[in-house]
Structure 1
Amino acid sequence: MNKFKEWYRKNVNDKNETKIKEALEFKNRFVNICGNTYFLGKGMIADLPDIIRVDKAAYGNEMKWTKAQFKTQLNNNKDRFYLILRKDDELVGFICISISRDNKCCQIQNVAVLPKFQHQGLSYFLITTIIERAREMELNCVFFICQVGHIKTQDLFKDLGFVQVEVKPNYYDDGENAIVLRLNLDKKNYLASNNFGR
């Protein structure tokens, strides 16, 4: 039994870990989204004030994370990953994910875009880029938990092929329910197959 565990660790776990590490080694670059040029980069702790500013602008009083929580996420490079978009040096959007190696799933923890840059394809771009990264890691699914009342957010994810799989009663501190939206990665969907963000 011990020989099998050792073989499994070397031949399966180590290979999976290598794929995850390679996918998380993100090279900063300029990208074109709907005719506009943006800087796409991996979020760093130096981006913390700008990330909080974007989150506040996007969600206002509905912010669910504290500054300390954002900082913890940014400092965790093993299973957390931030992507940021900048326009003329201004951080205009970001996305944060966490990876569950045991479940072979990726959770989109947060995605936010400044109001004046919304409806310009930035959220689609960030989400589809994460979907492609999850495929490179050979994960089984991507999921997102959001408030029941956020219909526009749900519609965005459903347009990308996510389906509602669960309702979590009283999930948030204010007692609001949450829904779980999930995308299985065993088949390609149209938008996610266009290799956005590469």
Structure 2
Amino acid sequence: MLNKFKEWYRKNINDKQANRIDEALDFKNRIVEICGMKYFLGKGSMTDLPDLIKVDRAAYGKKVKWSPKRFQAGLKNRDNRFYLILRHEDELVGFICIMISRQQTCCHIENLAILPQFQKRGLGYFLTTTIIERAREMGLHCVIFTCRKSNEKSQSLVQDLGFVKVDEKPDYFDDGEAAVDYRLHLDKRNYLAANNFGR
């Protein structure tokens, strides 16, 4: 009898968790204001593919993160991947991509890129904090952020948001550079300082 109850309880909890994730993935597009400028904030789709690649190339240059095929695969996978995009006057100026591990109840920020001319205007901060709040709505336990070891800007940003370095992966990228993993536990609310918003 106890085993049946445990099985029912686990299934019920897992169903509720799945519903929370699905509801949070159903993102409503809207206009947002960041540091005095208005942007369109929306969920990325296949029609955004050329613009996503363009922003990624502009932000990372030769140290580009992903191939066009990887972007395409991520946009097709609607169950576990989620793109948020920012457009200014119809130009895509930044995006963030997450992968959701439903079994581990964790969200992994896989890619964050802002056009160079729009950096230091709070866009990276805005997208990252939006994902943190979205992960809380999903009932997830943590957010993981992975970036190049040489990417000091991104590391500084996530450290300011309360992320802690948990791992270093040698030879992670195609060119042999190491990656670093940062983790933010969501069991405690992190109060984010407003002065970080200009990042």
Task: Please indicate the TM-score interval, normalised by the length of the shorter structure.
Answer: over 0.9
- Consecutive unaligned residues in structure 2, runs of 5 or more: none
- Consecutive unaligned residues in structure 1, runs of 5 or more: none
Q: String of CA shifts for 1:23-69, please: whole Å, max 9, x gaps.
A: 00000000000010000000000000011000000001111211111
* Paired AA for residue 32 in structure 1: E
Structure 1 residues 53-132: aligned runs within 5 Å: 53-132=54-133
Q: TM-score, normalised by structure 1?
A: 0.93
What is the aligned-residue identity percentage? 59
Partner of 2:23: 22
**Matched residue SS, 2:28:** coil
Q: String of CA shifts for 1:162-188, please: whole Å, max 9, x gaps.
A: 110111122222222111111110111
- 1:3 positional shift: 6.1
Q: String of CA shifts for 1:142-176, please: whole Å, max 9, x gaps.
A: 01111111111110111111110111122222222
Partner of 1:177: 178
- 1:8 positional shift: 2.1
**Matched residue SS, 1:74:** helix
* Paired AA for residue 126 in structure 2: F
Farther off after superposition, 166-175 or 37-46:
166-175
CA contact (8 A) 2:56 2:65 kept: no
Structure 1 residues 184-195: aligned runs within 5 Å: 184-191=185-192
Q: d(CA) in 2 for partners of 1:7 and 1:155?
A: 41
Structure 1 residues 127-138: aligned runs within 5 Å: 127-138=128-139
**Matched residue SS, 1:188:** coil
Q: String of CA shifts for 1:66-97, please: whole Å, max 9, x gaps.
A: 11110000011101000000001000000000
Q: d(CA) in 2 for partners of 1:109 and 1:58?
A: 15
Q: Give the paired residue count.
A: 193
* Paired AA for residue 112 in structure 1: A
Q: d(CA) in 2 for partners of 1:117 and 1:174?
A: 27
